[in-house]
Amino acid sequence: MLPKSSVVIGISAVAAVIFATGADFAAPSIPTAFNPTMVQAMKTIAGHTSLALDAPTLLPSRSSGYLTATTAARPDAYQVTVWDTRQPLHVNNAAIVSERMPGGNVAQFGAVRLAHSIPPQGAPNYLSALERHNPLWAGGPATLERGTVNLGDGIHAVRYQKATQVQLDWMEGDWTFEVTGRSLAMAEKAAIPVVHLLHAYYLPPYPGIYAVRLQDGGRTAITSIDWMRGRVLSYVTNDHASATNPVVTGGMAVSWRRVTLPTLTAPQPLIGAVLGWNNALYKLTASVDAKAIGKKLGSVAYHGQISGDFTVFQRLGTNPTNEVIFKSSGGRYFKAVATHRNP
């Protein structure tokens, strides 16, 4: 594990200046390499899910303590919880519970495969899956519209207000943004750094929701961000309330990257997984070296992708066959044999 002081903290430092003073935004540094703690976490997950693995290269930083992580995974989902602990601990160490620093749950991120893809923009229930998954989404403008607010960089938010609740909503591309709190001034103060961040960096290029909820009278905030690529919903959340939280959490989404299997060097991931194709179920029985099976690949036909995670190859002239080859989105090949066929 690395001490927190060794993690890049450009976004935190810059956000603190913006939130407190309204100073001009200076683009922070986004790390290009994954933190070693995240590499350990991804290695732990790799053999237990069929999803392609993604993670942020930027993590929240604290003034003291060590980064560690706990993980959970199943074939259609995975999650990593990042902790701040007094001692450096291995991923999923049982001592994490007793060694947590105050407010030690720093952030969570992960992905889940849903039953359906997101509808086209503008369609009924376009954002329903994202709204259901996002714990901070206020559920739409149930308050009275009171005009617009200029947030800078060409962005104007719609202001809603009812009793003591203020809500700022705006859109940018496929993304929907929402800041809720009790004070218009505080909501603006939280929203403007987010707008400036996204003037310098891009969020993942898919439909998404970026929800910020003010706490402590507007002095701090928590943030939840989620987006969908086809049927896969990805998310980052940060419940550690602070003035810099909305920009720090946004930096995690901005730094979201694919974690490749060569980086992880995980042993025999996915062996035993069962995949459906062409009215048959196939069980992955072995990892296959693409170079060693070059001739075999030349004798099979390409038939398409399964949920965007696997490409299936099938022998020429037969449909279906007892044995096929699957290629994962991470670039690995697997031999699979038929275990069941529908009539």
Predicted confidence band at 45 (pLDDT cuts at 50, 70, 90)? very high
Residue 301 located in a structural domain: yes
Task: Let me know whether 226 and 287 are in one domain.
Answer: no
Tokens representing 62 are 């604290």
Q: Which of 263, 286, 320 is the last residue of a domain?
A: 263
Residue 47 located in a structural domain: yes
Residue 184 located in a structural domain: no
C-alpha triplet 131, 70, 205: angle, nearest 5° = 40
Task: Let me know whether 98 and 200 are in one domain.
Answer: yes
Per-residue confidence (pLDDT) for residue 122, from 0 to 100: 74
Task: Let me know whether 208 and 324 are in one domain.
Answer: no
Query: Distances in Å between the alpha carbon of 238 and those of 97, 140, 142, 222, 244?
Result: 18, 21, 25, 6, 11
Answering whether pTM is above 0.85, one says no
Min mean pLDDT across 38-52, 133-147, 246-260 is at 133-147
Task: Let me know whether 336 and 208 are in one domain.
Answer: no
Task: Let me know whether 57 and 104 are in one domain.
Answer: yes
Work out the number of other CB atoms within 10 angstroms of the CB of residue 25.
20
Q: How many domains does the chain have?
A: 2
| Over residues 217-244, mean pLDDT | 92
Task: Let me know whether 218 and 99 are in one domain.
Answer: yes
Residue keyed to tokens 């810099």: 244
Residue keyed to tokens 């103060």: 189
Per-residue confidence (pLDDT) for residue 265, from 0 to 100: 45
Task: Let me know whether 109 and 20 are in one domain.
Answer: yes
- Alpha-carbon span 331 to 309, nearest angstrom: 10
Closest CA to 17 of 162, 186, 237, 192: 192
Q: Look at 343 and 253; give whichever has higher pLDDT.
A: 253
Residue 132 located in a structural domain: no
Task: Let me know whether 115 and 44 are in one domain.
Answer: yes
Q: What would the pLDDT profile of 126-137 be if each residue is shown by its tens digit?
A: 888 899 999 999
Task: Let me know whether 206 and 337 are in one domain.
Answer: no
Task: Let me know whether 201 and 334 are in one domain.
Answer: no
The boundaries of the domain holding residue 316 are 270-341
Q: Which of 227, 242, 263 is the last residue of a domain?
A: 263
Task: Let me know whether 101 and 212 are in one domain.
Answer: yes
Tokens representing 267 are 């042993």
Q: Which of 263, 287, 312 is the last residue of a domain?
A: 263
- Report phi then psi at 66, rounded to 5: -130, 145
Residue 63 located in a structural domain: yes
- Alpha-carbon span 187 to 211, nearest angstrom: 12
Q: What would the pLDDT profile of 180-216 be if each residue is shown by its tens digit?
A: 999 899 999 999 999 999 988 999 999 999 999 999 8
Residue 321 located in a structural domain: yes
Residue 224 located in a structural domain: yes
Per-residue confidence (pLDDT) for residue 3, from 0 to 100: 32
Residue 172 located in a structural domain: no
Task: Let me know whether 10 and 76 are in one domain.
Answer: yes
Per-residue confidence (pLDDT) for residue 295, from 0 to 100: 55
- Alpha-carbon span 110 to 231, nearest angstrom: 14
| Over residues 95-104, mean pLDDT | 80
> Which residues touch 46 (CB under 8 Å, ≥6 apart)?
53, 261, 264, 266, 269
Highest mean pLDDT among 93-102, 212-221, 270-279: 212-221
